[in-house]
Amino acid sequence: GAGVSQTPSNKVTEKGKYVELRCDPISGHTALYWYRQSLGQGPEFLIYFQGTGAADDSGLPNDRFFAVRPEGSVSTLKIQRTERGDSAVYLCASSFGQASYNEQFFGPGTRLTVL
């Protein structure tokens, strides 16, 4: 079956611009996660959704970052007034049910470059 998909695969933008990154999770997965992977680092947690609500947004670095999941499926990560330090690969993952032992299935990521 289809895995987690993310669009676009690459995004180049200029400092100060607004960007939206989209994640389409595996059908039926109620949990959705966003992570950010900077060069030479492991993925770092940003936000976790259970259904439509953000259950944990403690990883969002500042108020320029926002994410939504209005219908409990597709999610959009929104970054305002982008900065060069926002350049990274943004990963989305989904899992079935509510448990920290459930496997998270990852998408291929969106590589964001802020010039």
Contact residues toward another protein (CB under 8 A) are 3-4, 31, 33, 35, 40-45, 48, 55-56, 59, 91, 93, 95, 98-109
**DSSP run (H or E) holding 21:** strand 19-24
| Sheet of strand 75-79, all strands in order from the earlier edge strand to the far edge | 5-7, 19-24, 75-79, 65-68
Query: Shortest gap between Cβ of 11 and another protein (angstroms)?
Result: 16
Q: In this complex, which beta carbon is closest to another protein, that of residue 67 or of residue 91?
A: 91
Q: In this complex, which beta carbon is closest to another protein, that of residue 31 or of residue 79?
A: 31
Query: Shortest gap between Cβ of 72 and another protein (angstroms)?
Result: 16
Phi-psi category of residue 81: left, alpha or beta, with phi > 0 → left and psi -120 to 50 → alpha: left
The SS3 call for residue 53 is strand
Query: Shortest gap between Cβ of 109 and another protein (angstroms)?
Result: 7
